[in-house]
Structure 1
Amino acid sequence: MNRLVLDDGTVDLPVWRPPSGRGPGLVLIQEIFGLDDYLRSVAADLAAAGYVVAVPELFWRTAPGWSSTHDEAGVAASMEVAATFHPGLGLSDVLATVAHLRESPEVRGGVGVLGFCLGGSLAFSAAAAGDPDVAVSFYGSTVAAQIAELAKVTCPIQFHFGGQDPFIPRSDVRVVEEAVAAHPGAEIHVQEDAGHAFHNNVAPMFHHPEAAARAWALTTEFLRRTMPA
């Protein structure tokens, strides 16, 4: 277990390593459910693909160790925890994790960010405010409202959305589509048959297996193309 030193504290930083022990770095950014079985499986998949994966705990200041179930009760509880979350501090934690990976002797070939839901919004913010080498944002609910920030993004960036997302209107997704079309290095993929959190394979109320498989194939191809392991 690594330790991440921040301005207001020092926290554990779980890291997954590839079989070779070295590779490009990826900061994997959580959903509101915390570091759960789903996120651990994504980290393991990315490590198996050759990446050194670090997962910062975003709720450590207000709900340390938070992890919830993936049913309606779990969503409600996670929403309450997320309501106490400070996005600016979370972004600072993500950027600190990027810097931590850059300084790690096991990381070579760049450092990127990849996030889901809350993490999807933060991955976009990190690409605009920091210096990751690549960014992947899955169904970030604040992306459309902050799309002007895309002008600050200089790394390759990929967005994913569900066309039937009840939390992110299709009109918001269209705003992102229009901005991406005018921004070199950006791409967007919309799974029109899927809703929110469609990649989360431990959340039956959200998971859409076919859309998840399509989006993940696009993600891994994008990573191989822009920051190969």
Structure 2
Amino acid sequence: MTSRWIDITSTTGETYTGYLSLPPTGKGPGLVLIQEIWGVNEHIRTVADQYAADGFVVLAPDVFWRQSPRIELKYDDVDTPKAFGHMQALDQPAAVKDLVGAVNTLKALPEVTGKIATVGYCMGGRLSYLTAANSPDVAAGVAYYPGAINTVMDQAATLTAPVQFHFGGLDTYITHAVREAVIDTLGDRDETEIYVYENADHGFNCWGRAMYNQNAALLAHGRTLQFLAEHLA
């Protein structure tokens, strides 16, 4: 696999950067991988490389570029408050426009030979859903423990792509009521998939955090790959 940072053009016309990881074959379907609140850090780049090893051309956009370009934070008591501050200051409508631009940028790459999906974690999970709802070029979206997802359910009116959701049953940030809002809005769509990992907490996919749950992470990754294989074929 090879990787590099590339320029992305937002639909606002502004330019920012993202981490691009190519599969061993050098080409394949596209995947926009959307960060947690700690930036495109070592963990997110490793996840991008993981999906590249699975055969995808992966682009991880720098969502916080308007505040702190290429900020890379750690999961500790010093950096975590900074991460929450960046999330709270995020201009979400602008971020969605940036991410739709990332889809367009990925689509134009010669290495991308198939359809494009979005996958995101926490804040990135919500943005994955919103990007899928705002770009006709997203063939599928995956949202891991998407924070405040209940506040953007109105976007389902423009959502045509199938979406898969992964929730931790022990998650105190994303409560049962929040999950129910997703089920009530999207649960009756044939191509919606919703999984709850009863013994997993928020952030269960991140091996850099104390709540990492290997079993749930493996199950979710396998289900994500199957979902993408079905909808990006």
Query: Given the two structures, how large is their TM-score scaled by the length of structure 1?
Result: 0.94
CA contact (8 A) 1:180 1:187 kept: no
Mapped to 2, the partners of 1:111 and 1:181 lie a distance apart of: 23
Matched, 1:100 2:105: yes
- 1:57-206 residue pairs with structure 2 within 5 A? 57-131=62-136, 132-204=138-210, 206=211
Partner of 1:34: 39
Aligned length: 227
Match of residue 6 from structure 2: 2
Matched, 1:43 2:37: no
Q: Compute the displacement of 1:110 (Å).
A: 0.6
Superposed displacement of residue 21, structure 1: 0.7
Contact map agreement 1:116 1:140 (CA 8 A) in 2? yes
TM-score (norm 2): 0.92
**SS of corresponding position for 1:68:** coil
* Structure 1 residue 181: Cα displacement: 2.3
The DSSP-based 3-state class of the residue aligned with 2:78 is helix
Deviation for aligned residue 1:71 = 2.4
Structure 1 vs Structure 2 CA RMSD: 1.4
Contact 2:37–2:123 (Cα < 8 Å) also in 1? yes
Q: Distance in 2 between matches of 1:72 and 1:170?
A: 28
Q: Which 5+ residue runs of structure 2 have no aligned equivalent?
A: none
Cα distance in 1, alignment partners of residues 79 and 159 from structure 2: 34
Q: Would the aligned equivalents of 2:19 and 2:45 in 1 still touch at CA under 8 Å?
A: no
Match of 1:14, SS state, is strand
Distance 1:146 1:94 in 2: 16
Deviation string, structure 1 residues 48-94 (Cα, Å, up to 9, x no partner): 11100011101111111211111233321211122221101110111
- 2:39 partner amino acid: G
Contact 1:151 1:183 in 2 (8 A): no
Q: Tell me, what secondary structure is at the counterpart of 2:61? A: coil
CA contact 1:180–1:188 (8 Å) conserved in 2: no
Question: For residues 89-113 of structure 1, what are the alpha-carbon distances to aligned partners after superposition, in whole Å with 9 as ceiling and x for unaligned?
Answer: 1101110000111111111111111
Residues 5/127 of structure 1: CA separation in 2 closer, same or farther (3 Å cut): closer
Identity, in percent, stands at 31
Superposed displacement of residue 8, structure 1: 5.6
Q: State the one-letter code of the partner of 1:4.
A: I
Bigger shift: residues 50-59 or 167-176: 167-176
Deviation at 1:9, TM superposition (A): 3.2
